[in-house]
């Protein structure tokens, strides 16, 4: 049986139930620093922790799915090919995208 992991709503990576509370503030601070270094037209609104209003045993799965979708919403599509990237990687990709 796989241990219960929680998904970070900022980066989409999985963490244990104890380490997620340590990771999220650090991840959000890193996100803020990286977002402020981007050109104004690529800056994004700060991600918010999703609220899940379900009860019962499906709570963890619902929370993880909402957090995953929140992390995916941070990605920006390429104007040429439509693939999605983090803003700093989108700049690099666009240099070689045909």
- With contact defined as beta carbons under 8 Å apart, do 78 and 94 qualify? yes
pLDDT per position as a tens digit, 36-74: 988 888 788 899 888 876 555 568 888 888 888 988 888
68-74 long-range CB contacts below 8 Å, 24 or more apart? Answer: 68/7, 68/12, 70/9, 70/10, 71/7, 71/8, 71/9, 71/10, 71/11, 71/12, 71/47, 72/12, 73/47, 74/10, 74/44, 74/47
Residue 83 pLDDT more than 70?
yes
The reported pTM is 0.75
């Amino acid at each position: 049986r796989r241990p219960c992991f929680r998904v970070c709503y900022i980066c989409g990576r999985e963490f244990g139930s104890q380490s997620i509370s340590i990771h999220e503030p650090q991840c959000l601070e890193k996100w803020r620093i990286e977002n402020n270094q981007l050109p104004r037209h690529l800056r994004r609104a700060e991600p918010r922790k999703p609220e899940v209003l379900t009860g019962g045993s499906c709570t963890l799965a619902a929370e993880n799915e909402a957090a995953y979708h929140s992390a995916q919403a941070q990605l920006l599509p390429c104007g040429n090919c439509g693939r999605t990237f983090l803003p700093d990687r989108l700049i690099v990709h666009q240099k070689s995208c045909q």
